[in-house]
Amino acid sequence: MRDALAKLGSDANKINPLVPVDLVIDHSVQVDVARSSNALQSNMELEFTRNRERFGFLKWGSTAFHNMLVVPPGSGIVHQVNLEYLGRVVFNTDGIMYPDSVVGTDSHTTMIDGLGVAGWGVGGIEAEATMLGQPMSMVLPGVVGFKLTGKLRNGVTATDLVLTVTQMLRKHGVVGKFVEFHGEGMGKLSLADRATIANMSPEYGATMGFFPVDHVTLDYLRLTGRSDETVSMIEAYLRANNMFVDYNEPQLERVYSSYLALDLDEVEPCISGPKRPHDRVTLKDMKSDWHACLDNKVGFKEQQDKVVKFDFNGQPAELKHGSVVIAAITSCTNTSNPSVMLGAALVAKKACELGLEVKPWVKTSLAPGSGVVTKYLLKSGLQEYFNKQGFHLVGYGCTTCIGNSGELHESVSAAITENDVVAAAVLSGNRNFEGRVHPLTRANYLASPPLVVAYALAGTVDIDFEKEPIGVGKDGKEVFFRDIWPTTEEIAEVVQSSVLPDMFKSTYEAITKGNPMWNELPVPEASLYSWDSNSTYIHEPPYFKDMTMSPPGPHAVKNAYCLLNFGDSITTDHISPAGSIHRDSPAAKYLLERGVDRKDFNSYGSRRGNDEVMARGTFANIRIVNKFLGGEVGPKTIHVPTGEKLSVFDAATKYKSEGHDTIILAGAEYGSGSSRDWAAKGPMLLGVKAVIAKSFERIHRSNLVGMGIIPMCFKAGEDADSLGLTGHERYTINLPTDVSEIRPGQDVTITTDDDKSFTCILRFDTEVELAYYNHGGILPYVIRNMAGAQN
């Protein structure tokens, strides 16, 4: 953007954050080394070796821009750091007080709503514009009131609660809405429990899941090292403005757009999977549900009783369908919560004492969201039991939950691939979409940290914990789930004695000091970045190439071909480059041609600064299902004019070289999942001009608008199939060519070359979004405004 402003003859230094910006580098560490006391150091060294160039770029940004705090790698996950340190709740700037709010480039920014801060994820595209003073535009949301009563039963965790809430809200339908939690049950939930629920807003589809500030919030602020003076100021300000909830006083009846209620006493232990966060399965039904999955409930049509024997480091091993090969305590959702983290450690301890051990071929890992977790695990004396079960500390950051799970052992990989085993991963994360966690784990289950340990010990998801033993311990005795599960009181006792305010203070006093590897990175002093044309990590993107001061106006979409034809629930993981770079992909070919060895491919997430890699990785998910391929799974499509089966990137390139626009057809919930900018940037670079879907997930629709792609919805009750569309047609979208004649939400007629005609709803939702579209996207709009403004 600075370069673009300079080319337009304006002052490049106008591009500078106008609001406070915190950048936490947390998505690049991978679990290359696990089950080892040196895993943390080894993984961080590998992280810096792979990402040195990218980290150097980010460090340059920390000095080139003002009003920006950069938290170096190895410090934790942005949402947990936000909750424990960055979140202010109330700002006091030179005596002017106002409520804290935050927009984040990551969809799980909503975790801060548990602290009473209005926060939501918008993705990088909108966040960049917000940093430069552009207001957030949105349709006034409906607010769902979610009443909580009662208290959780003994042995039931916050994760069980959040998976229950996620299923209820996804069923209710809360896309684009706010959810506010209230009721007497609130007093029975810790702040960390509330943050766990708020974190999962993207999984239930809401803009935010909000918990107003009350006494529990204030206690948490004190626990995490905020001063008494600050906490008193926050309480006084919120009380004065009727924004503080005191459950000791009579409560007024709240008025909401719609209502839900849950008695916490009814929540049962559960997990979610094997493919979506809202597919909840109670623990008691897990075995029967797993067998239903193998009988083709979710596309696993397999022989039930297959056993594969193999050699693992010289000892006999075996895998079956449902064998756990990855067990990871990871992600912001749960690692911010001391009760589930210490509960998991107690499970490991009890299992050790009874003589149970996790099989050595299960890849176990512990990746907390902040250094505070390590402090209280050491203080409690429980980290040693994690280590004995293979849950060594592997890093501070998002790992397995975003696909940075690292390689499986060669013998395990071979056993899975050569025998078509439906292997399982169990993780304490928030996302389990296909192909996300690891290419070889077709079944992925979200579970609380204690359940992750339990399933690792069992070695399979094909188990009824109520009736079947987890394993055989000392003296040949069978050990059951109930023998290793801690009580709520046991956990509370350890939390009380081990989680202390000084731990938060000492951790965050040092957070910006970095580490030797970060501190040694050289930083150029120029205000404009010096691009290296040979870099495979940082590449000057083409978004503002040949840009002039005149907006391009609405682009006509005439006789466009359909690049991809999708059904329901296509996630941003399917669309955006994510996880590892497959060896046969266009991105791999690009890297190999530039002398990059396979071992140095790294992940798409770590190469997100190179548009050439990312465009090739768009729609490259190995589990993607495109109707053009008649049931075949994988990142291919049909080039309609020739009938050739090509990679999506190659087909898109061919259409562009032929001068053809492309569109995408899709079903319901298109773009659910992470806020990934690249789910919109990638299609734009591939030449996609419009997406026609039954419905969009909130952030993705907004990101499409931000990149100048037209989002459209079929009329209620209609979709591509009901309209007889195969995707082999050519599509003309009859939009006015003058933006002043376009209205948010208007009906638009689409015609095809075989004389079909149907009406769709234009999903530009505000006048501001129409202005973005007129400029070719949100960032060109901001640049032109800044270039035109007086110095």
**What are the tens digits of pLDDT across the range 719-774?**
999 999 999 999 999 999 899 999 999 999 999 999 999 999 999 999 999 999 99
Closest CA to 710 of 675, 740, 735: 735
Question: Coil, strand, or helix at residue 156?
Answer: coil
Domain end point (choices 228, 244, 266): 266
- In this structure, are 355 and 488 located in the same domain? yes
Q: Is residue 63 part of a domain?
A: no
Q: What is the pLDDT of residue 790?
A: 52
Is residue 696 included in any domain, yes or no?
A: yes
Q: How far apart are CA 580 and CA 48, in angstroms?
A: 17
Q: Is the dihedral of CA 569, 575, 581, 583 positive or negative?
A: positive
Are residues 329 and 255 part of one domain? no
Distance (Å, rounded) from C-alpha 304 to C-alpha 286?
15
DSSP string for residues in 26-43: -S----SS-SSTTHHHHH
Q: Count the helices and strands in the chain (H runs, E runs).
A: 28, 29
Report the pLDDT value the prediction gives residue 701, as an integer from 0 to 100: 94
Domain match, 281 and 421 both: yes
Reply yes or no: is the peptide bond before residue 744 cis, omega within 30 of 0: no
The answer as to whether 14 is a domain residue is no
Are residues 424 and 376 located together in one domain of the fold? Answer: yes
Residues 555/656, Cβ–Cβ less than 8 Å: no
* Burial classification of residue 391, based on how many CB atoms lie within 10 Å of its CB (0-12 exposed, 13-18 middle, 19 or more buried): buried
- What's the mean per-residue pLDDT of the chain? 93
- CA–CA dist 658, 537 (Å, integer): 29
CA distances from 197 to 75, 444, 610 (A): 23, 20, 34
278 and 221 within one domain: no
- Residue ending a domain, among 266, 301, 323, is 266
Give residue 328's pLDDT. 97
Based on the domain organization, do 295 and 331 belong to the same domain?
A: yes
Position 594 in a domain: no
Question: Model-level pTM greater than 0.85?
Answer: yes
**274 and 406 both lie in a single domain:** yes
Report the distance separating Cα 651 and Cα 654, nearest Å.
Answer: 5
| 474 in any annotated domain | yes
| Domain enclosing residue 707, as ranges | 557-576+618-774
**Spatial CA neighbour of 53 closest among 438, 620, 616, 600:** 600
- Could you tell me the CATH number of the domain that includes residue 691? 3.20.19.10
Give the pLDDT score at 261: 98
Q: Which residues of 156-171 are buried (b: 16+ CB within 10 A; e: fewer)?
A: bbbbbbbbbbbbbbbe
Q: Which residues of the chain have pLDDT under 70?
A: 790-791
The answer as to whether 568 is a domain residue is yes
CATH no. for residue 141? 3.30.499.10
Structural domain includes residue 217: yes
Residue 596: inside a domain, yes or no? no
| Tokens 């009329």 sit on residue | 715
**234 and 296 inside one domain:** no
Report the percentage of the chain scoring pLDDT > 90.
82
DSSP symbols for 226-247 = --HHHHHHHHHHHHHTT-B--T
Task: List the one residue out of 120, 130, 63, 119 whose CA is nearest residue 88.
Answer: 119
Among candidate residues 222, 245, 266, the one where a domain is terminated: 266
Residue 621 corresponds to which tokens in the numbers above?
A: 């998910």
Say what the pLDDT of residue 433 is: 82
Is residue 82 domain-shared with residue 231, that is, in the same domain? yes
The answer to whether residues 262 and 276 belong to one domain is: no
Question: Within 10 A of 610 (CB to CB), how many other CB atoms are there?
Answer: 23
- Residue position matching structure tokens 């935010």: 208
CB neighbours (10 Å) of residue 410? 9
Q: Are residues 291 and 169 in the same domain?
A: no
Looking at the structure of the chain, the number of domains it has is 3
Q: Domain check: are 297 and 164 in the same one?
A: no
Specify the pLDDT at position 305. 82
